[in-house]
Structure 1
């Protein structure tokens, strides 16, 4: 038993790796999520759709060519009386009118609306790409958060193992003392209650750990029962600066970038509305084949071809002041997009400033809890030595044990909270690594 405290210290520093379990690194978790996650795959397909829509034809710049076939047939019974008095009666007479050919229509000028539309389609493509980045950042942030929750829970389980080992030692000591008549049954019962409480706490924590694993497997689109363990280190970036984060956010925050793109889209929308003030010019041409058959008259069959061409020019002279109304409405919508940009800037700055204050506080708490955990561990080791030689009571020993357990919990929670605020800051700044 003289080496027991060294066993406890060893348990405290022992990585929580189960034999046979696959170690899933954070990088692997992110890579699997980016490849498999359903939301991201849907967002990627939306980007592909927007890419397909950026075309000259969709913008109205290319001509439209149509092939047309018209075939009209008539069957009738008729009786004709000619000028010379002769009568002709035909049953089941068939008339045929066949017309087929190709036609081309091409709007060659529409007040530059087609060019504005083409540029607008490009901005819509950029919008889809930026929305994809926003989704990626959100999912990666969720993976980060869930992963480090698992690391935190592994730390707590490992620490509980050392606490349980101490409680088990105390229980066996009490039972031995009771056997030789140096302790009462009450001491044994108290030790057993404390031991059971520690085991119960571990059972509850392992349940939370299992649920967190299921949540991460869901993000990775893997079977919920897939077993794994995570790495055992939480590295805190202590170099974040408020001014740098605010500057990065103005350039990289996806939600802010979306507002910028929406403004561009609305600017091109206004250009399309203004284009209605200009004249519109369209060209048209076609080539047709004609054939007709009739059993009546002097000409019973006709066939031919024709080529047609022309143009159409139009200009809006008066439309009940709708043009002016449409332009005013579009300008107001453009003004709203600028207001949305200003609002988003303020929201982003407020979010970063708020999280940064939490980040600084958590760093200070983390440093304090690291020192406190060392003190609590040292206190537990001294108390354990005194307990073994019988110079302190079981109550004092349990108090030192509980103090150390609480110190470990506060330290691991401080590590997790600090990492979570770091992740949130980088996500808002659009600078989260993945």
Structure 2
């Protein structure tokens, strides 16, 4: 059996050495997702759009300045007749022909329009855009949190399957060693062929379980690559070390949930947006005062006629004016808009109360789930120790011929079940902790 232990140790060392070459830590995975994940990139672009929208260039506070220019060209061929007219000698006056009479007109101008006062609609809309930007930031942060939670869920599933794979490899090695012992014992007449066949069946079953686990592991690693936006052929190894945040620290995060929970923060931003919507709608009751100005240049070059010579006329024009427009009655459109905006505000206030109640419930459920899963994990740790001791004792008894191969196999199965159950409980507890962190809004503020 010393040889058997040596093989297991060498396998473990080889596994760890190969894993270190392509080991992806949790912090590295998070950094890679923040940089490469498609959903996060999309959210960042959405925030950039909202940032552009909240700028002064999108508020209507700045004047508009337009330029215009034009040119006109005319060429006329005309004949002027003088029927019945004679000159001083009594000779009929001849026709007067004007060929290629050219006339040009040129103009250029600048027009300025500026709203001095619009019932404070621009002011409240500007503040609304500021709130919309903050809401978009919160939505992007929520997208990032959901992506990181998805990433870590897949990461820990890879870790769980990796640990299961290692445990099942150990179980397979034990079953293979049992075949050798059963064959030796059969050759020396110490047992029957049935013991050999049972051992072979167990090796077959353990091999199938290992192959299925390895298939699931590779599939899950591909899922991890998709979240990280990496080549699906990359088969990263992951860190299986799990640490839990102390309960006192978690409780402090829970106490600050009202200022960090993203659902609550988004509800508050939406409430502010609805308040500004009411004020923007009310601006329709007030007048609009505007300022207009223009500066223009005109050049008119006229052709000569039968009675007048051609002239060039150039003018410069400057005009400034102010005007007031007050929509005294618009058919009730503004009134309806104000009423609807107030109803939307009331609905948002009701939604805020509902979200507060739901968050409180979700927090309580998450705490209870976390504590429950953590307790189960601690129990399963003890169960592994118990089953490990039972397996070691059963192996000694089996080697001495005091128990049957079936009893030894049962101890082996019990140990493997305890190990895989413990792995599941460990990562279930960690995922419960992550969900609690997400509810408190602290998922992005802790180190993994």
TM-score, scaled relative to structure 1 = 0.92
Whether the 8 Å contact between 1:74 and 1:95 is mirrored in structure 2 is: yes
2:327 counterpart residue number: 316
Is 1:232 the counterpart of 2:240 in the alignment? yes
Q: 1:275 to 1:199 in 2, by over 3 A?
A: same
Once the two structures are TM-superposed, the CA of residue 356 in structure 1 deviates from its matched residue by: 2.0
Partner of 1:33: 33
Give the equivalent residue in structure 2 for 1:325: 336
1:100-249 matched pairs, under 5 angstroms: 100-239=108-247, 244-249=252-257
Distance change >3 Å, CA 365–CA 52, structure 1 → 2: same
Q: Is the 8 A contact 2:222 2:235 kept in 1?
A: no
- Which deviates more from structure 2 when the two are superposed, residues 410-419 or residues 37-46? 37-46
Structure number, greater radius of gyration: 2
- CA offset at residue 346 of structure 1? 2.4
**What is the deviation of 1:311?**
0.8
Tell me, in whole angstroms, the C-alpha distance in 2 between the residues paired with 1:312 and 1:87. Answer: 55
Match of 1:17 in 2: 16
State the 1:354 CA deviation: 2.1
Partner of 2:61: helix, strand, or coil? coil
Say if 2:282 is the partner of 1:271.
no
Query: Which deviates more from structure 2 when the two are superposed, residues 196-205 or residues 346-355?
Result: 346-355
The 2-side partners of 1:247 and 1:92 are apart by: 92
RMSD, aligned α-carbons:
2.5
* CA offsets 1:334-389 (integer angstroms, 9 cap, x no match): 11222222222222222222222221211121111111111111000000000001
Structure 2, unmatched stretches of 5+, are: 86-92
More deviation, 270-279/304-313: 270-279
8 A contact 1:63–1:107 mirrored in 2: yes
C-alpha distance in 2, partners of 1:117/1:182? 92
Give distance in 1, aligned partners of 2:408 and 2:82: 131
CA distance in 2, matches of 1:180, 1:336: 85
The alpha-carbon distance between structure 1 residues 355 and 177, as it changes in their structure 2 partners (threshold 3 A), is: same
Distance 1:41 1:82 in 2: 83
Alignment partner of 1:302 is 2:302? no
Give the secondary structure class of the aligned counterpart of 1:60: coil
- Which sections of structure 1, spanning at least 5 residues, go unmatched? none
2:256 alignment partner, SS class: helix
Give the Cα separation in 2 of the matches to 1:254 and 1:86.
95
State how far apart, in whole Å, the 2-side matches of 1:92 and 1:40 are. Answer: 70
Q: TM-score, normalised by structure 2?
A: 0.90
Hey, what's the Cα distance between the residues in 2 that align with 1:290 and 1:82? 35
Between 299-308 and 418-427, report the one with greater CA deviation.
299-308
Alignment of 1:349-428 (within 5 A): 349-428=360-439
1:45 corresponds to which residue?
A: 45
